Amino acid sequence: MLRTRPMIVASLALATLLGGAPAAVALDAPASATAETSTTWAVAPASAEGPDGRVSFRHTIDPGGSVEEFIAVTNFSAAAAPFAIYASDGVVTEAGNFDLLPSGETPVDSGTWVSIGEVEGATPRDGGGIVIDVPAGATTLVPLRVDVPDEATPGDHPAGVVAELARGDDESVQVASRVGVRLHLRVAGDVVASVVPGSITTSYSPSWNPFAPGTLTVDYVISNEGNVRLGATTTTQAAGLFGIGGASAAGEQREILPRQQTAASATVAVWPVFFAWGEVAAVPTIVGEDAVQASLAAAATPFTVWTIPWSQLALLAVAAVIIVLIVRARARSEARVQARIAAAVSAAAAQPNDAGLVDEPASARAVPERTV
């Protein structure tokens, strides 16, 4: 999960994004930066004495409650460097990685609950937080406080605190470079675990081999309609009339935050029997070391799709044309044979007999009347 750019090393204790071991993660990286090419820094959870070995903050807080913490910002570089320290709401990117809102975007949820404390020599940051100078090879402790509003809803409210390398006004940089620590914040109350598939779109691509199934592509989104972060295992299945040619495909989404959704796609081999039915089913799963005391019930959303057997119909059309051509050819051949037979009979009838007379066809001879 490490994202790096040339000449930049920025270690991050954005710990256990998915409940795993400590990770070094850069939330963003610069498109172009000159002042930070030799700047190396890290951010980690800490106590008042210094880094304490944790990889993230994890708290369950009652509505109206609060908790105080510290982060340690360490500058490993050979020169002092300024860092902007601020908090924001947590999100999961399209790639499935945890991140925070862009630095210029205002948080609207738990990012607004986090206050950055005072540090000697710090100056206020536009948009919230502070800017501090960390000497070369030094570690600065930054206090923070989480105040949960009285009206906060139960469940997970992911957030994070970052240290972003500050720059002068004359620097031209397209993307901020920041590292940070994740805050697993849960407001006490009833827990609901629910993931629901929806927004299903389908497309069917028949095989040009008439003796092979086609490919059904199913695009969908999985929405977390509960109030805690969840993963999901999905099953996409489809079958034709009377269950003909049934098939399925499995998928997995490792983390979906509450009130957010993730897009996914599945492909299933389906025989073209004109019409098919199917469904996308999702079962919520627990992420990492989270405790979820709630039922993990499955949810399913059905779909239908046309599966026209174009290649098979084309094969039947070709076979029908061939049959018609064969029947016509045989009819013409039989007609020619009958014509030759009739001509031969006529020619034979026109030949003189032994008396020098020409035989008349039997149908032309008079039949004498009999008297009874």
What's the per-residue H, E or C state across 45-92?
A: EEECCEECCCCCEEEEECCCCEEEEEEEEEECCCCCEEEEEEEEEEEE
Say if 317 falls within a structural domain: no
Q: Answer with the one of 187, 204, 225 that is the final residue of a domain.
A: 187
- pLDDT greater than 50 at residue 20: no
Q: 243's torsion region: left (phi>0), alpha (psi -120 to 50) or beta?
A: left
Say if 219 falls within a structural domain: yes
For residues 233 and 90, state if they share a domain.
no
Residue 322's pLDDT is what?
Answer: 84
Average pLDDT, the chain: 83
Closest of 94, 72, 82 to residue 161, by C-alpha:
72
Residue 368's pLDDT is what?
Answer: 57
For residues 209 and 172, state if they share a domain.
no
What Å distances lie between residue 313 and 14, 101, 106, 209, 284, CA to CA?
57, 53, 58, 12, 42
Q: pTM value?
A: 0.71
Say if 315 falls within a structural domain: no
For residues 23 and 96, state if they share a domain.
yes
Say if 110 falls within a structural domain: yes
Residues in the chain: 372
Distance CA 183, CA 162 (A): 11
Residue 58's pLDDT band (boundaries 50, 70, 90)?
very high
For residues 147 and 242, state if they share a domain.
no
For residues 266 and 360, state if they share a domain.
no
For residues 23 and 89, state if they share a domain.
yes
For residues 139 and 240, state if they share a domain.
no
Q: Answer with the one of 160, 187, 214 that is the final residue of a domain.
A: 187
Number of domains in the chain: 3
For residues 172 and 273, state if they share a domain.
no
- pLDDT greater than 80 at residue 359: no
92 vs 22, higher pLDDT: 92
For residues 178 and 228, state if they share a domain.
no
CATH number of residue 287's parent domain: 2.60.40.10
The label of the residue with tokens 């927004």 reads 199
For residues 300 and 357, state if they share a domain.
no
Say if 115 falls within a structural domain: yes
For residues 225 and 338, state if they share a domain.
no
Residue 303's pLDDT is what?
Answer: 96
Say if 225 falls within a structural domain: yes
Q: What percent of the chain has pLDDT over 90?
A: 57
Q: Return the top range by mean pLDDT from 45-54, 240-249, 288-297.
A: 45-54
Q: What percent of the chain has pLDDT over 70?
A: 80
For residues 61 and 175, state if they share a domain.
yes
Say if 2 falls within a structural domain: no
Name the phi and psi angles at 65, rounded to 5: -90, 175
Q: Which residues does residue 147 pair with via DSSP β-bridges, in sequence order?
A: 66
Query: Domain limits at 348?
Result: 327-364
